[in-house]
Amino acid sequence: MIYHVPALLEESIDGLNIRPDGIYVDVTFGGGGHSVEILRRLKTGRLIAFDQDADAVINVPTDKKFLFLNQNFRFLSNNLRFNKIKSLDGLIADLGVSFHQFDEPERGFTFRQNAPLDMRMNKSGKVTAAKLLNTLDEKSLADIFYKFGELTNSRRIAKEIVLARMVKPLTTVNVIIDAIGKIAPYRQEHKFYAKVFQALRIAVNHEIDYLKEMLEQALAVLKPGGRLVIITYHSLEDRVVKNFIRTGNFDGEEKKDFYGNLETPFRIINRKGITPDEIELSFNNRARSARLRIAEKIR
């Protein structure tokens, strides 16, 4: 089975503007598609890769320039300090889940196959989707569906879940689909379930909080002229990245200096972001929601 097919491979690695002697980080190693392309362009430089999923270890290349860390990228600065790396020429993040995680039924990331409701990217994490579904109060559940799934009927979904779990615990994909099936919009059931699952996955893995932590640390550790290259897969993530690149904060609040110039730590390389072209989608349709943003640290 294929572990992963990297999205926007050439565009993202070109965006790193690789110096053959530079130091780079890939914070989402996965199947290693982006890492291998970075290594190909390095001569004396180094690449440090992170992945919180221990399964990714099987893809680690043998290369003296490469170091793999089975760590969450929220610990970026600590790990770099530990490895005596003071600054970076570039960092790439290709967010979300790998095909491998999605396609392994027992990991519970997809509504298309019955499995335990797990959804942890790090299998030693304590909180699974089942745990959230069976223990959170109705309001907290509604907040998850509203904030992370952008679902307008979030309260109704939470209500159905709380009613269903009074009958039996929600432990598998089929049980939750049964619980919310009756409120799925007609002919848009799959889209609806995908959003519900996305919301749960983001909550289980703290994806938005950890993305913000990593971006702040990336800014601190990038050299002036260093590149930040991020691929996102949904609007929530993309908004966080876009605001941060544009303004240096997550609310997108513009701060101007004495002369009225926007104070931003980055020069934006591509204003609208890059999305896959038809050729890429013809062999990798799963990249259809990918959006690549590239920025260069100014100071």
Q: Which residues lie near ligand SAM (CB under 6 A)?
A: 4, 6, 28, 30-34, 50-53, 56, 72-74, 94, 96-98, 121, 210
CB 8, min distance to ligand SAM, A: 10
Task: Write out the E strands in the chain.
Answer: 23-26, 46-50, 66-69, 88-94, 222-232, 266-268, 291-297
Which residues does 65 contact at the CB level (< 8 Å), separation at least 6?
Answer: 39, 42, 44, 45, 46, 47
Nearer Cβ to ligand SAM (100/297):
100
CB 51, min distance to ligand SAM, A: 4
| Tokens linked to 63 | 């290369």
Nearer Cβ to ligand SAM (33/265):
33
Nearer Cβ to ligand SAM (129/142):
129
Nearer Cβ to ligand SAM (15/31):
31
Nearer Cβ to ligand SAM (4/297):
4
CB 231, min distance to ligand SAM, A: 8
In angstroms, rounded to a whole number, what is the distance separating the alpha carbons of residues 172 and 161? 13
Nearer Cβ to ligand SAM (68/193):
68
CB 285 within 8 A of CB 275: no
Q: What angle do CA 162, 104, 114 make, to 5 degrees?
A: 40
CB 290 within 8 A of CB 216: no
Q: How many residues does the chain have?
A: 299
Nearer Cβ to ligand SAM (146/210):
210
In angstroms, rounded to a whole number, what is the distance separating the alpha carbons of residues 146 and 288? 23
**Coil, strand or helix at 208:** helix
In angstroms, rounded to a whole number, what is the distance separating the alpha carbons of residues 108 and 101? 9
CB 185, min distance to ligand SAM, A: 28
CB 116, min distance to ligand SAM, A: 18
CB 12, min distance to ligand SAM, A: 9
CB 121, min distance to ligand SAM, A: 4
Phi, psi of 19 (to 5 degrees): -95, 130
In angstroms, rounded to a whole number, what is the distance separating the alpha carbons of residues 226 and 228? 7
Start-to-end CA distance of the chain, whole Å, equals: 44
CB 276, min distance to ligand SAM, A: 13
Nearer Cβ to ligand SAM (154/232):
232
Phi, psi of 64 (to 5 degrees): -65, -20
| Tokens linked to 123 | 């299998």
